[in-house]
Structure formats: structure tokens, C-alpha cells
A and B are shown apart, each in its own frame.
Chain A
Amino acid sequence: MAKLTSATAPENGGVMFKRRTVIVDGPDPIDQHVGGQLRLRRAQAGMTQTELGAKVGLSFQAVQKYETGENRISASRLYQLARILDVPLAYFFEGLDETGHAEDGAGAAELTRKEASMVLGAYYGIKDPRLRSACLLIMTRMAGRSDVEGE
């Protein structure tokens, strides 16, 4: 049965947290979300579980368990994975709301983020700085924003 930890009990002014176990409660939703983001990013990079595991010194089963949320990812491991998959650490928590629940549009948010990165890539692909600022001006005008007028 889940217990309340004394450090976070209400009388201590803390938030009430249950001590979870994977066997009793199943994987934590936040761990599942982080695992889902890891799986999605790995697939986008076209990397198999075995290849990713080899890069961080793990078996493919360990990567599987991370992806299902069955095993929690330590901070150092998450940092390693973020570097290998070329994403910021915050990527793994995108789509989580303030209460730690996954938002419904998590997939759409992912695509929006990717679209944003594509726009950035195209933007910095323009070598001429004047052309770049002209593009920025056009985009901001089109977005109906008058507060950023460029140069």
C-alpha cells in the first residue's frame, strides 16, 4: 500500500505525494511521458534501441524499459540521452502541464516544435543578414505583430 512520506505530509506544509511502486501502481505518468518523448525522438533520428543503448552503454532491454516508463531515467542518463539525440533537456518534459499530466495535444505540440525548428533552420540558412532581417520583418508583419519592426 502506498504511504505518505513525512517530509511532504500536509502538516509540514508540503504537497501530499504518495510513494509509488511500479508493481502496485504501474509506471509513473511522468516517467511514461519522458519515455514516450525518448521513443519519439529516437524514431525521428532513425536510431534503433540497440544503437541508442550502445551509445550510452546499456542493453536494448534497458532502453525499452526507459521508453515504457518501467524504469526511471536518472538525471545523468537523461543528460546523456539529450546530448546524443540532440535535444534540450526540456524536450523530454514538453507536453506536460503544471500538475504533471500529459496534455492532449502532446503530439501536435511535438510537430509544432519541429516546425519551429525547421523555420529556424531555414532562417539561419540565409547567409545575407539583410535578407534575414527582411524575412523576419515579413513574418512579423504577417503575424500581425507591430511591436517588432526589425531594423
Chain B
Amino acid sequence: MTQAPRMSDARPEVACVAAEGCSYLRALSTIEHIAGFEHTARAYAAASERCREHGCWAASTAAAPASAAPEPVPLKAFYRGDRPGTLAAAHEAETVPFIRSEHIDIVSDGAGNCVERRPLKLATLPRRGDPLGHLYRYWLDLRSAGSLQFSSIDTVQLTRADIIGKLHIVDVSSGDPHDFRFELFGYAVPIGRYESPCAHPVQIWADSLMRDYNTVRLTAAPRLHRMRCRLGEVAHHYTRLILPFHDKGARVTRLLVAIREERGNGLRLKPAE
């Protein structure tokens, strides 16, 4: 039986980065820019600059008590726990049967790195109370409406899923997996930031990413994996959902990769004696 994470666990950290302004707003700005909404992208970028100048706006609005002002505080809706239509509380989450996949794939190298990859059925994603489940249902809605272009994406749905910091957007418009590149790298993901999947220094890890991304690009079908790996001295354990988006010609050109951290993710390991 899987246990859905609690709302507080799933919420991405909102942190200001001195050089780049508020990470959360910058991520929203990047998503809007990729989706082709320059107007809103500029507004989010300007708001993140404001954060840099005056301190983290998001953190202050989240901490502040409800204002008596008649007009809603800009962007406040993103950080309020009591907003309408928010993820269900843990006690409302439904239980789903856990079926252990037999197709486990383990790769290791001589340097002590190891990648364990377990494909999961998409049906195992909880319908409520889970960021990946929320995102997958939204993707299904888009698909059933026949609008799986990236420009159809609604950032409010992403913020409701509380997944912004743990979201990558990968450009897979090239047929060569070595040319895949990250257009957005989740700032709350405890893995070093790289321009492209193949740039990761651990080769088995880079190969695993390129293979999975390429599979989704070619099949245009979403994939769910439970990843457990050791890269250098850090252990990683997370569930990863890869969703394809296509261009006007129905060719998959972008992937939305969402990550749900599992217990023990980012754990620093002692080097072997």
C-alpha cells in the first residue's frame, strides 16, 4: 500500500536566490515564456526582481495573516494553504494497490554509482492528494480535449499540484538524445543543475535519462518510474512522471518531468572505507 504524501511534504520550497530573484516566480516566468505567453512571463520576472530588491515576497505573504484589503494580494493565491480547490488532505487520500513491478533495471559502474529503475503503472497514481496524480489527471484532460501542445498548459494547475520546484521541462525536438536539453530545471530537486541530460558526469545516469526521455518522445505515451540511485556520495530516491507535449504537427517536442521525493532522497552517504 502506498501512502500519499502530506500537503506540507509535497509543497516545494520557496527560496530566494540572490543572483536570480525568487526561484518560484522565475520558474513560473520560464514556463510562461516556453508556452509563448511573453506578457505573463514578463510580469512574473518583474515580480521576482521585486523579490530580489525587497526580500522574498512569496515567503512574506505566506507568513502574513489574511489581509483586510479588498483586492487580493498579487500572487498570494499560489502560497495560501486554504485556497479553493487545493489538494485533498492526507486523511481524504485514497489508498491504491501497490503492485511491485517485475521489470526492475539495475545498472552500476566501477566508481560505486548505481541506478535502479522500476517502471510503475500510471494507474497506481492516487487520484487525490498527490502532486503527480494531480498532474497526470490534468494531462489526461488536455489529451482528451486534443490540446496537448505546450502552449495549452495552465500554470495555475501546476501551482495547485505544488510541483513547480520539482518540475523539469526538456526540449526533445532533436532526434538525437544527446541534443536534449533542460529548458527548466527544478530548483528544489537535490541533483546538480545541468544544461542537458548527457552533461551529467555519471555516465550510467545520463544514459538512463536519455533512454527514458527518448522512449517517451518516440511513443508519445507518459511513463512513471520509481528511481533509486547512488550518484557519488548522495543517495536519490524518488518517483518520476514524464509527460509528453507536442507541437502543431503532433510531434513530441517537449517533456514535462515531475518528481516526487521519496524517503531517503538526497541522503549523503559515508564514503566506503
Which residues from chain B contact A118 at a C-beta distance below 8 Å? 69, 71, 73
Which residues from chain B contact A50 at a C-beta distance below 8 Å? 141
CB distance from B200 to the nearest CB of A (A): 33
Judge whether A47 is part of the interface by a CB distance below 8 angstroms: yes
- Complex: A42 Cα to B72 Cα, angstroms: 12
Q: Which size class do B's interface residues fall under? A: 35 or more
Judge whether B98 is part of the interface by a CB distance below 8 angstroms: no
Which residues from chain B contact A114 at a C-beta distance below 8 Å? 71, 73-74
**B45-A61 in contact (CB<8A):** no
Which residues from chain A contact B220 at a C-beta distance below 8 Å? none
Judge whether B78 is part of the interface by a CB distance below 8 angstroms: yes
Known contacts: A43-B155, A49-B154. The answer to whether A106 contacts B39 by CB under 8 A is yes
**B46-A108 in contact (CB<8A):** yes
Judge whether A140 is part of the interface by a CB distance below 8 angstroms: no
Known contacts: A43-B155, A48-B156. The answer to whether A107 contacts B42 by CB under 8 A is yes
Binding site for B on A (CB under 8 A): 32-33, 36-37, 39-40, 42-51, 59-61, 64, 67-68, 86, 102, 106-108, 110-111, 114, 117-118, 120-122, 124-125
Binding site for A on B (CB under 8 A): 36-40, 42-47, 50, 67-75, 77-78, 80, 83-85, 141, 145, 147, 151-152, 154-157, 159-160
Of the A-B pairs whose beta carbons lie under 8 Å apart in the complex, a sample of 15, sorted by A's number, is A37-B39, A43-B155, A44-B74, A46-B80, A46-B84, A48-B156, A59-B145, A61-B147, A64-B147, A107-B39, A107-B42, A107-B43, A107-B45, A107-B47, A117-B69
